[in-house]
A and B are shown apart, each in its own frame.
Chain A
């Protein structure tokens, strides 16, 4: 029985200004509609150009539940193609990444395709003479994803033609990507290091919301970051500098006032970031030689401005988060209403000292790995939330903290860092992109 399909009013009714219905997290039908509408109507991150530097290089990924491949063509252009043979549907590329040479060859009947998707050859083509094959979609090759935009090597794609242009969709939020790239003295990032993959038995939106939830670290992470601080305090007596790992762990135990003061900025279309004035990354020790390189590249004033930008987590709606100051990115890949794959990536700042990349990798394994004790804290609460939402005691999830009636979601504004405003911002965008291409029910004309 379908409750929400073709029923935009029912979708809208799931989100109130200051609370959200539990079906948003638990309903398989809502999940299916997210795949069909939300992920098709938004600009979705599909990869970084540094992963496919050579002709024939490709990566495979998904946009929502749609398998796609991202490939470097012979003329060096980047193409995003559905990973589906136009003959009988076989997935063309099965590995996470690779090089296909000059063409893709389907493993089933050997139809082959140029790296821009065009059909190159069919074995025993004679068998199709006078069958009208030339009038079918099959002959067009691997179907392209209609809208692709590469922004400073970050590749985004949108399945549907519905909605804003790339520039309008992201607007000023691109400043977080800019800042991460500008931290390289050469203005260039390379995605490097294996992604850490972490399976979560919970809804993908719990993860996205948590990126700007600043009221949980000192509670949920007392066991990991708190223990790290207390063990280090005992060790300190022995002397020596504070280890890099303690610098990474300790700010997770910062008090509420710290998070209140650091601020949250919201942008239109569901994007936003924590860390407007300071962040959990602000007090890392200087890496020898790095600042001088930055001054040489940008001049002192600009170098200070770039490094003084202290963004903590930037959420790009719907499903990625980047941390510019530590050069990591998390991609939340929805698999089912109660199942999400989290992939955490690391970027190397080209031209910067190795120690910066060492810290990036350390951050990723201490915070984002399946073996990370900080990750254990978070996953535990998500899974408990997924289970708790089965309770009929309440149907609504509260996101009311520092809510002000009349709050807008089409503006750029900053708020108190412990506000749940960015979560509300995301849900406003969620409703918008869920219903953007849903057929509206015929309405009785109101007499005016």
Chain B
């Protein structure tokens, strides 16, 4: 899908194929470490949520590993590029392996599209390689002719396990 097609979207013209391509594109931008472009996939009021509890319903009054608005995501992205970010010397890299995203809701009337994607994720740094598995749920809407993520929820298979540093984005 080209940016051209994206910018011509309206809620009524969104197809399942558009959503699937969008999810793959997000993962690819992350794996290419193209974080500035990645942030552009998110709406201004978006959140990135990684629960710390099983079947968690509330990001505010239950514990989470991440519950970040755009300000916090921007801080992360700027930090990754910082000269004194010692935990990124050497730098981390990531790889996403996505199962075909499933479209759970097509609701053009409400301008709301929901997808469910099972994934494997690998993050490496120096000689270390960490493997994670889980499910990403996206809430997507159309803004100014383009798809935008309103909420990305990442449920790790072993959300309650003791992890070392998880520095990039799943």
Inter-chain contact A198/B86, CB cutoff 8 Å: no
Inter-chain contact B163/A361, CB cutoff 8 Å: no
Say whether, besides A223-B85, A227-B75, A373-B79, A364 and B165 are in contact (CB < 8 Å): no
A232 to B66, CA, bound (A): 19
Specify which chain A residues have a CB less than 8 angstroms from the CB of B84 in the assembled complex.
Answer: 222-223, 226
- Which residue in chain B gives the minimum CB-CB distance to A378? B87
A243's contact among B71, B160, B161, by CB below 8 Å, is which?
A: B71
B87's contact among A231, A361, A369, A377, by CB below 8 Å, is which?
A: A377
A178 contacts B by Cβ under 8 Å: no
A-B contact count (CB 8 A): 107
Inter-chain contact A371/B166, CB cutoff 8 Å: yes
Interface string of A233-252 (1 = CB under 8 A from B): 00100000001011001000
Interface string of A336-351 (1 = CB under 8 A from B): 0000010000100000
Inter-chain contact B75/A369, CB cutoff 8 Å: no
Inter-chain contact B76/A370, CB cutoff 8 Å: no
Choose the segment among B19-27, B56-64, B94-102, B133-141 that binds chain A (4+ C-beta atoms closer than 8 Å).
Answer: B56-64
Inter-chain contact A194/B160, CB cutoff 8 Å: yes
Inter-chain contact B63/A365, CB cutoff 8 Å: yes
> Which parts of A193-219 form the interface with B (CB within 8 Å)?
193-201
B63's contact among A196, A224, A243, A341, by CB below 8 Å, is which?
A: A196
A172 contacts B by Cβ under 8 Å: no
> Which parts of A153-203 form the interface with B (CB within 8 Å)?
193-201
Specify which chain B residues have a CB less than 8 angstroms from the CB of A376 in the assembled complex.
Answer: 87, 165, 167
Say whether, besides A223-B86, A227-B75, A370 and B164 are in contact (CB < 8 Å): yes
A365's contact among B64, B87, B165, by CB below 8 Å, is which?
A: B64
Specify which chain A residues have a CB less than 8 angstroms from the CB of B164 in the assembled complex.
Answer: 198-201, 370, 379
A191 to B50, CA, bound (A): 21
Interface string of B67-111 (1 = CB under 8 A from A): 101011011101100101111100000000000000000000000
A interface residue count range (under 10 / 10 to 19 / 20 to 34 / 35 or more): 35 or more
Inter-chain contact A197/B87, CB cutoff 8 Å: no
Say whether, besides A223-B86, A227-B78, A245 and B165 are in contact (CB < 8 Å): no
Inter-chain contact B65/A370, CB cutoff 8 Å: yes
Task: Give chain A nearest CB distance to B144 CB in angstroms.
Answer: 19
> Which parts of B25-51 form the interface with A (CB within 8 Å)?
50
Inter-chain contact A194/B63, CB cutoff 8 Å: yes
Inter-chain contact A369/B79, CB cutoff 8 Å: no
> Which parts of B99-134 form the interface with A (CB within 8 Å)?
none
A220 contacts B by Cβ under 8 Å: yes
> Which parts of A364-388 form the interface with B (CB within 8 Å)?
364-366, 369-371, 373, 375-377, 379-381, 384
Interface string of A250-267 (1 = CB under 8 A from B): 000000000000000000
A358 contacts B by Cβ under 8 Å: yes
A134 contacts B by Cβ under 8 Å: no
Say whether, besides A223-B85, A227-B75, A231-B75, A197 and B163 are in contact (CB < 8 Å): yes
Inter-chain contact A370/B74, CB cutoff 8 Å: no
Inter-chain contact A223/B63, CB cutoff 8 Å: no
A354's contact among B50, B61, B63, by CB below 8 Å, is which?
A: B61
Specify which chain B residues have a CB less than 8 angstroms from the CB of A354 in the assembled complex.
Answer: 60-61
- Which residue in chain A gives the minimum CB-CB distance to B159? A194
B52 contacts A by Cβ under 8 Å: yes
Inter-chain contact B78/A231, CB cutoff 8 Å: yes
Task: Give chain A nearest CB distance to B165 CB in angstroms.
Answer: 5
Task: Give chain B nearest CB distance to A385 CB in angstroms.
Answer: 12
Specify which chain A residues have a CB less than 8 angstroms from the CB of B16 in the assembled complex.
Answer: none
Specify which chain B residues have a CB less than 8 angstroms from the CB of A199 in the assembled complex.
Answer: 162-164
Specify which chain A residues have a CB less than 8 angstroms from the CB of B62 in the assembled complex.
Answer: 193-194, 361
Inter-chain contact B64/A361, CB cutoff 8 Å: yes
Inter-chain contact B82/A227, CB cutoff 8 Å: yes
Inter-chain contact B63/A220, CB cutoff 8 Å: no
- Which residue in chain B gives the minimum CB-CB distance to A369? B65
Specify which chain B residues have a CB less than 8 angstroms from the CB of A352 in the assembled complex.
Answer: none
A232 to B70, CA, bound (A): 11
A427 contacts B by Cβ under 8 Å: no
Specify which chain B residues have a CB less than 8 angstroms from the CB of A362 in the assembled complex.
Answer: 67
Task: Give chain B nearest CB distance to A290 CB in angstroms.
Answer: 16
Inter-chain contact A381/B86, CB cutoff 8 Å: yes
A436 contacts B by Cβ under 8 Å: no
B82's contact among A201, A223, A235, by CB below 8 Å, is which?
A: A223
A282 contacts B by Cβ under 8 Å: no
Specify which chain B residues have a CB less than 8 angstroms from the CB of A433 in the assembled complex.
Answer: none
Say whether, besides A194-B52, A197-B161, A243-B71, A358 and B79 are in contact (CB < 8 Å): no
Task: Give chain A nearest CB distance to B85 CB in angstroms.
Answer: 4
A357 to B86, CA, bound (A): 32
A267 to B118, CA, bound (A): 52
19 A–B contacts, CB within 8 A, in A order? A198-B162, A198-B164, A220-B86, A222-B82, A223-B79, A223-B84, A227-B78, A227-B82, A358-B60, A361-B61, A365-B52, A370-B162, A370-B163, A370-B165, A370-B166, A371-B66, A377-B86, A379-B165, A380-B87
Q: Which positions in A face B, CB cutoff 8 Å?
A: 193-201, 220, 222-224, 226-228, 230-232, 235, 243, 245-246, 249, 341, 346, 354, 357-358, 361-362, 364-366, 369-371, 373, 375-377, 379-381, 384
- Known: A200-B164, A365-B52; 7 extra A-B contacts, CB below 8 A, are A223-B87, A228-B75, A231-B74, A231-B75, A365-B63, A369-B66, A379-B165
6 cross-chain pairs, A with B, having the tightest CB-CB distances, nearest first: A197-B162, A370-B163, A380-B87, A193-B63, A223-B85, A376-B87
Q: Which positions in B face A, CB cutoff 8 Å?
A: 50, 52-53, 60-67, 69, 71-72, 74-76, 78-79, 82, 84-88, 160-167
